Structure 1
């Protein structure tokens, strides 16, 4: 039996494929070796995943946020081998997972626009060139965490139009003190900030919201996509909830930068299933 996983900041999507080709979908919390100790990952796998799979797993292909190098990948590999000692485990970055889900064995520019953001040039096998995302403070342009950060700033600094500001206040009821505490003194501030992004979608008829999202997507292209070599010579694709829910604005922005067509997928797990079904 084979396990395929795509892990983001908040959740992990798994595909269990048995010898007859039957597929079972499983969800666990996000498994991030950059922010979680190995024992915490083991506990989540043992408690939530193993009861759904049982024994007999022979191959595991894990793609995840936080796998920025071999050392972080080894944390995931050791944790999975503790529960599935007979399995061959491969660990890869979420960016490579996005690229393989979008393009299979073909070259292209693969982008992630979710809680975080990323862009890379994929040669059909591996990442040929990448731009460091740098996280929501220094980078992550166009992501949910950065748009949430800017949206919250516009709210407290009275930049947001008054009607929307009233709606935002009613919907979230957040004080300046609470926002400062959640961002600067608690864990996972990126997830806290990203929760405000649906407000932009809910008010998408507003000129402010449309311009806000477009400006953030322009920054993503300018500071990431356009820095890739010969970027206009490749097809481009996007994965993530931000890309999915703001697809029209994203398509318009891609067109501005010279891309005739874009591929947008909310989650990569189905594409990864297809990728491994022909291996």
Structure 2
């Protein structure tokens, strides 16, 4: 029996698999070793994951996570898991999870559009080219965090209609000062900004909202995807933002001369097939 984890900054999807069949699925908080200590990650595994797994014996853990692209971070997450599960453990990036989940054993361009964004060229086994996403302050174009950042910036700088500004502040039930506090002083501002996505989804009919999202997706394609051989490869995309905004994403791809392949919300089904 193996345990496969797909972890973003917001949530972690753990799938217990036996001979290629899903046995159990468990969700815990997101894991990112850039923002969390080994102790915090270990506590989430010990207190939330393990009680739900019961007494099942796990032979291998394949953990794919945000922030797991550096040896020291891989070691940190490995130790946190090993404190609770005695098994073969492999830790890799969430980008590799997306590539394997989208492309399987075939080469292609794989992308993530969720709380954060990322992209790569994948040769069927490993990532061979990757444009650094740079996080939601310097990059992460098209991500939930950046869409939220752009929305808040437009609202607080009066770039939306007064009616839309009033509607936003009323629905999030926060003052401008409280929003600034959430972004600059409280932990995980990327999660807070991405949590504003439901407002964007509910107001896609507003021209200013449609334009904001379209321009951010086009920036994602220009600044990331167009650095790969996109003319000869379809672009596969995974993540909640890609899935819920797929009509505008398709429009942005057409305007950018990009051929889209698969758009799905989670890589887990593909990862289960890959590890079978």
* d(CA) in 1 for partners of 2:68, 2:158: 39
Deviations 1:182-239 (A, max 9, x none): 11111101111111122111011111111111011011111111122x2221121111
TM (norm. structure 1) is 0.94
Runs of 4+ more than 2 Å apart? 18-22, 52-55, 255-262
Question: Which segments of 5 or more consecutive residues in structure 2 lack a partner in the other structure?
Answer: none
Residue correspondences, number: 275
Q: Shift of residue 167 of structure 1? A: 1.4
CA contact (8 A) 1:55 1:84 kept: no
* d(CA) in 1 for partners of 2:226, 2:21: 41
Aligned to 2:269: 270
Aligned to 2:241: 242
Q: Shift of residue 255 of structure 1? A: 2.2
Output the aligned Cα RMSD: 1.4
Distance 1:22 1:109, change over 3 A: closer
Distance 1:234 1:52, change over 3 A: same
CA contact (8 A) 1:251 1:262 kept: no
Q: Shift of residue 112 of structure 1? A: 0.7
* d(CA) in 2 for partners of 1:22, 1:31: 22
Matched residue SS, 1:27: strand
TM (norm. structure 2) is 0.95
Q: Shift of residue 162 of structure 1? A: 2.4
CA contact (8 A) 1:42 1:80 kept: yes
Aligned to 2:198: 198
Q: Where does 1:12-23 land on structure 2 (aligned, <5 Å)?
A: 12-18=12-18, 21=21, 23=23
Aligned to 1:64: 65
Aligned to 1:114: 114
CA contact (8 A) 1:12 1:30 kept: yes
Question: Which segments of 5 or more consecutive residues in structure 1 lack a partner in the other structure?
Answer: none
Is 110-119 or 256-265 further displaced after alignment? Answer: 256-265
